[in-house]
Amino acid sequence: MTKSLPSVTIVRRVKAPPAKVWAAITKPELMMQWWGPDAGPTLRAEADVRPGGRFSVVFRLLNGEEHNPTGIYQEVIPEQKLVFTWEAPGMPEQESLVTFLLEPIDGGTRLTLLHEHLPDEARESHEQGWNGLLNKLPVFLGVTEWAN
Amino acid sequence: MDRTFSALADPTRRAVLLRLKEKPGLSVSELARPFSLKLPGMMKHLDVLSDAGLITRTKTGRTVSVNLSVRPMREAMAWLQRYERLWTVSIDRLVALVEKDDA
């Protein structure tokens, strides 16, 4: 059902074993080293990695803005799957869900990151998924010309 | 904002938005024509788009003209862009970190 909601998916082949990738996404001292949308620093990371445990990361952008996404771990399968909710205080958005999938492959790990919206109410059925909309994205990117 | 994405999940409604982008201010019956939809069917689609804040309807005499509303689409795009950037950069750094010793 969540397939038809907006989402960001990133898939990478990583030349490191799942155990090492798992450590990087669950150990605060390692999380501090990669989180953030630019070269700005990660200031704090908390990770109580068990279902119901809390997640919190504070990072500062190069422009000085600080962000503090927080959430609750939903699913924890060591070296395979990590799912947590995502709330971004101060952002005009609803709670969303982040999933990390780790699969062992020859020479390392296949890492999948999925960030998707949570359904916020009963929905009508969708004939076409979000992927269908993504195909039309270039059209919507012209959105600033729409001003009326 | 989820309402926006939900509204956009339907191909007819997306087509309506694209038509309105080309021709702002079309009437309900002009909108319904190419879709071989009866007026009530089109009205239902317009209700969904209107609830999502994607269109506005203005009544002039007996004609209702429909126009695009920009803000929700912009918010939806901002969400995607924000998180695409966050995760692309973060995952790049994550990969670099774990591959550092094992390369």
Would the CB atoms of A24 and B76 count as touching at under 8 Å? no
Q: DSSP label at B32?
A: H
A80-87, Cβ contacts within 8 angstroms, sequence gap of 24 or more: A80/A18, A82/A22, A82/A25, A82/A26, A82/A49, A84/A55, A85/A118, A86/A115
Work out the average pLDDT over B88-100.
Answer: 94
- Amino acid B45: pLDDT: 93
Higher pLDDT pick, A148 / B34: B34
DSSP for A17-38, written as a single string: -HHHHHHHHH-HHHHTTT-SSS
Residue B24 near residue B67 (C-beta atoms within 8 A):
yes
Provide the mean pLDDT of chain A.
79
Pairwise CB contact (< 8 Å): A16 & B18 = no
Q: Which of residues 71-100 of A touch B (CB under 8 A)?
A: 91-94
CA distance B62 to chain A (A): 22
Q: Give every CB contact of residue A125 below 8 A, 6+ residues apart in sequence.
A: none
Rounded Cα–Cα distance for residues A94 and B25 (Å): 32
B39 contacts chain A (CB < 8 A): no
* Closest residue by Cα to residue B6 from A6, A9, A43, A136: A6
pLDDT band at A134 (very low <50, low <70, confident <90, very high): very low
The predicted-structure confidence for B24-82, as pLDDT tens digits, reads as follows 899 998 999 888 888 889 999 999 999 888 898 988 888 899 988 877 667 777 788 88
pLDDT number for residue B90: 95
Q: From the CB of residue A131, how many other CB atoms can be counted at a distance below 10 Å?
A: 11
B15 touches chain A (CB under 8 A): no
Say what the ipTM of the complex is: 0.76
A108-123 pLDDT per residue, tens: 999 999 998 765 432 3
Are B31 and B57 in contact by the 8 Å Cβ rule? The answer is no
Give the nearest partner residue to B80 out of A8, A24, A37, using CB atoms: A8
Tokens describing residue A96: 């969303």
Cβ within 8 Å, pair B68-A148? yes
Record: contact A117-B5, CB cut-off 8 A: yes
Q: Is a pLDDT exceeding 80 seen at residue B1? A: no
Task: Tell me whether B47 touches chain A (CB under 8 Å).
Answer: no
Residue of A nearest to B14 (CA): A133
Determine the pLDDT at residue B20: 87
- Cα B16 to Cα A10: distance, rounded to the nearest angstrom: 31
pLDDT at residue B18, as a whole number: 85
Is A136 an interface residue toward B (CB < 8 Å)? yes
Q: Do B91 and A139 touch (CB under 8 A)?
A: no
* pLDDT confidence bin for A92, thresholds 50/70/90: low
Is the model's pTM score more than 0.90?
no
Q: Which range, of B14-23, B38-47, B82-91, averages the lowest pLDDT?
A: B14-23
The confidence score (pLDDT) of residue B38 equals 86
